Amino acid sequence: MTRNTRALSYCSVALISAVFSSFVTWQGSKLVAQDVAQTPPAGGNGQLLTQPLPDLPGREVRITLLDRAPGNSSPPHQHPGHHTFGYVIQGTYQFGVNNQPARILKAGDVFYEPPGAIHSVSRNASASEPLKIIVFMVADQRNPSTVNQ
């Protein structure tokens, strides 16, 4: 990868992150407010947007609302070829990548998983409160969003 291509790639991710944060700021109250909250499909995942990025061939944005019950967790997994960003809307989230010590994130916190990382810990840290997360991916169109390890 040339220096200019790498710089363009980083700029693209930064721009998409800025758009994502604007979207979350604008829509965040709608997703949390009881009277206007969208009910995710069975399984607790709701695909909010899939948008191809014509200026980045082979890439698309995927935005998903994850709704997790108290104590719920997922097995170690990977988001193959995807830059994955997350924003905790509600609750506490235990998050770990590549078997590093897990962190506890609360509402308003963000996280990032680089392509190829193993999401080793993904759990609602509360035994009594639900968890809501917005996940934003700059995804490789050829790959599924998640592959369990």
Question: What pLDDT sits at residue 79?
Answer: 93
DSSP assignment of 72-132: -EE-SEE-TT-EEEEEEEESEEEEESTTPPPEEEETT-EEEE-TT-EE-EEEE--SSS-EE
Determine phi and psi for 101, rounding to 5 degrees.
-55, 135
Q: What's the distance, CA 36 to chain centroid?
A: 22
What ranges do the domains of the chain cover?
Answer: 3-148
Question: What pLDDT sits at residue 87?
Answer: 98
- CA-to-CA distance for 135 and 132, rounded, in angstroms? 10
Question: What pLDDT sits at residue 93?
Answer: 98
Stated pTM of the model? 0.70
Question: What pLDDT sits at residue 68?
Answer: 95
Instruction: Supply 26's token pair.
Output: 């604008």
Question: What pLDDT sits at residue 118?
Answer: 95
Q: What is the pLDDT of residues 23-48, one digit of tens each?
A: 554 455 444 434 333 344 444 569 99
Question: What pLDDT sits at residue 100?
Answer: 94
Question: What pLDDT sits at residue 34?
Answer: 40
| CATH tag, 3-148 | 2.60.120.10
Question: What pLDDT sits at residue 14?
Answer: 55
Question: What pLDDT sits at residue 58?
Answer: 96
- CA-to-CA distance for 30 and 117, rounded, in angstroms? 31
Question: What pLDDT sits at residue 10?
Answer: 58
Instruction: Supply 53's token pair.
Output: 């990025």
Ranges of the chain whose pLDDT falls below 50: 22, 25-26, 29-43
